[in-house]
Amino acid sequence: MAQPPTSPLFAPNQDAEPQPARQPGWGLDSLPRDGGAYALVMDLDRRLALPIGRQQVHSLAPGRYLYAGSAYGPGGIRARVARHARRDKSLRWHVDHLTVAVGVSWVVALPGGRECDIVATLIRDASIGQPIPGFGASDCRRCRAHLLALPKTFDAARLRAQLSQAFNL
């Protein structure tokens, strides 16, 4: 496993259940400009067809999903998450199809972390699945997918507890 990140950041704050990312002031400014990993949590209230790959359409059932990504380029985690939170963007990555359709509900940032470590940590939980093989992981040799299907009861406190334990935070 990679070096543990210095501290996790949960937008909008560490103490309360996160508010929807699409509301003004949801905490984007609290995200670091450092490189690292992040987890986007999205709540899908209807079935959604996603065009992923060549001539393939995958369907996601309503539910809660988590996408694990990394951002080591200019602007770090804050810039990447800001892009994901925008609805008006070109569709560059698999996750763009999802974030354009449903938006981002809340975010976890792990400065210095790796997306594969988030996935490896969470997939140990038998209630978490990987609904679309290869989603967000087409260049990853370690993970089956970077999109996870979470139980409806999976909340910020549970995510915080699992990641904190795994990364010794």
Region at 119 (left for phi over 0; alpha for psi -120 to 50; beta for the rest): alpha
Instruction: Provide the percentage of residues in the chain whose pLDDT is more than 70.
Output: 82
- In angstroms, the CA 105 to CA 146 distance is 17
Mean pLDDT, all residues of the chain: 82
DSSP state of 153: T
For position 103, what pLDDT does the model report?
86
**CA neighbor of 66 nearest in space, from 37, 91, 87:** 37
Q: Kindly report, residue by residue over 117-152, the tens digit of the pLDDT.
A: 999 999 999 999 999 988 888 888 899 999 999 998
Which pLDDT score is estimated for 127?
A: 95
DSSP 8-class letter at 98: H
pLDDT more than 90, % of the chain: 41
Per-residue confidence (pLDDT) for residue 120, from 0 to 100: 95
Is residue 41 classed as helix, strand or coil in its secondary structure?
A: strand
b/e per residue 53-85 (b: at least 16 CB within 10 A): eeeeebebeebbbbbbbbbeeebbbbebbebbb
Domain boundaries of the chain, sorted by first residue: 9-166
**Alpha-carbon span 29 to 120, nearest angstrom:** 28
**In 3D, which of 35, 34, 41 has the Cα closest to residue 12?**
41
Residue 23 pLDDT exceeds 50 = no
Residue 26: per-residue pLDDT: 52
Helix axes 76-85, 94-102, angle to 10 degrees: 60
Is the confidence at residue 106, as pLDDT, over 80? Answer: yes
pLDDT top residue among 142 and 169: 142
Q: What pTM does this model have?
A: 0.84
pLDDT of 93: 84
Q: What would the two tokens of residue 104 be? A: 């981002």
Q: How far apart are CA 108 and CA 158, in angstroms?
A: 12
| 39-84 confidence digits (pLDDT tens) | 999 999 999 998 876 767 889 999 999 999 999 999 999 999 999 9
